Amino acid sequence: ENDLELERATVLVTSGLDSLWQQAVAAGAEKIPAANVVANNVVGAGLDPAAVSAKELAKLVDARERIPRAAFDEAISKLAEPGFSADPYLAQETVSDEAELEPIVARVLEASPGQIEAYRNGKEGLLGFFVGQVLKETQGKANPRVVSELLRAKLK
């Protein structure tokens, strides 16, 4: 496709995954995210493209931002299994509601005054520590992108 970068398109074609990508797009997946998931995740998991259901792949592509990363990775690893359904994984939506996450973020920050000071003194890599603490408290269900935004706002 014209709007796929050449490198990604080359990976799809040379890996024999262009057909799977086209089927996933036909099943409703967005072109660029589908290309990325096929080229990175399907290839990375070593799946046989002929055994992958394009319909289930399309569901996972579209849900990749809404479900926990661990659920997404597990679903990808099982995508080529006979009778695979993405539905149980789609039910594991992440928590993206800021009102629900703010008290958890506040608790994590209250428990980490030393790390807050270090962060404000230039150790910006500690943002990952704070995100990790929130994810730990939510058992991996918090949306890391939303958590990062909340933390950045509170750590200013």
- Give 85-143 pLDDT, tens digit per residue: 999 998 888 888 999 999 999 999 999 999 999 999 999 999 999 999 999 999 888 98
Q: What's phi and psi for 47, nearest 5 deg?
A: -80, 150
pTM (predicted TM-score): 0.67
Cα distances (angstroms) measured from residue 139 to each of 12, 26, 34, 63, 127: 35, 35, 27, 19, 18
Q: Which domains does the chain have, with CATH numbers?
A: 6-90 (no CATH), 98-154 (1.10.10.410)
Structure tokens at 7: 């490198």
- Give 6-56 pLDDT, tens digit per residue: 877 887 888 788 999 999 999 999 999 999 999 899 989 999 999 999 999
